[in-house]
Amino acid sequence: MEEVKKVLRANFEVLDFVPLGTGTPSQIYQWDINNCLATCDVMLGIGDYLSTGLGYELAVAIEKRGIPVLVVAERGRIATKFFEGIDKPFYSYQKYKEMSEIPNMLKEFLTVKLSKQI
C-alpha cells in the first residue's frame, strides 16, 4: 500500500488515516472524519478487508459530502456486498489484480466521473 501512496502522491495530496493500533478511539474518529474526510476532494477506499470504519467513512463521503468515491478490492477476495449496492452517480466499485493498478484506476475514475459532471 505504501508504494501505491507514493505513486499517488506524484499527482494527488494523500491524506493518511490514523494507522491501525495507534491513537485513542476518539483521536482516530476526529482525525479520520474531521481532518481527512472533511477536507478531501475525492475518496479512495481499499475494500480488501471487512471494516465497519470504512463503511462509515463511505457514508460520510457519499451521503454527507457528496464527493467522488472509488472503492477497490483485490480480485478473488471476499468483500462486502455493500460496496456493490451503492448506486450514486459519483461512486464506483472496482476490482484490481495487482495493487500497482490502483493509481491508474483512480485517474480513469476521476476522468470519467468528472467529465459526466460537466
Q: List the domains of the chain with CATH numbers.
A: 2-117 (3.40.50.450)
- Quick: pLDDT tens for 11-22: 888 988 777 778
Cα dihedral 55, 108, 89, 84 sign = negative
The DSSP secondary structure of 49-116, one letter per residue, reads S--HHHHHHHHIIIIII---EEEEEETTS---THHHH---TTEEEEEESSGGGHHHHHHHHHHHHHHH
Write the pLDDT tens digit of every residue in 73-113: 999 988 888 899 999 999 999 999 999 999 999 999 999 87
How many angstroms separate the CA atoms of 81 and 78, rounded?
Answer: 9
Extract the C-alpha cell encoding 22. 495507534
pTM score, two decimals? 0.89
**Three cell numbers at 17?**
488515516
What's the confidence (pLDDT) of residue 116?
Answer: 66
For the stretch 51-80, pLDDT in tens is: 888 999 999 999 999 999 999 999 998 888
pLDDT of residue 77: 86
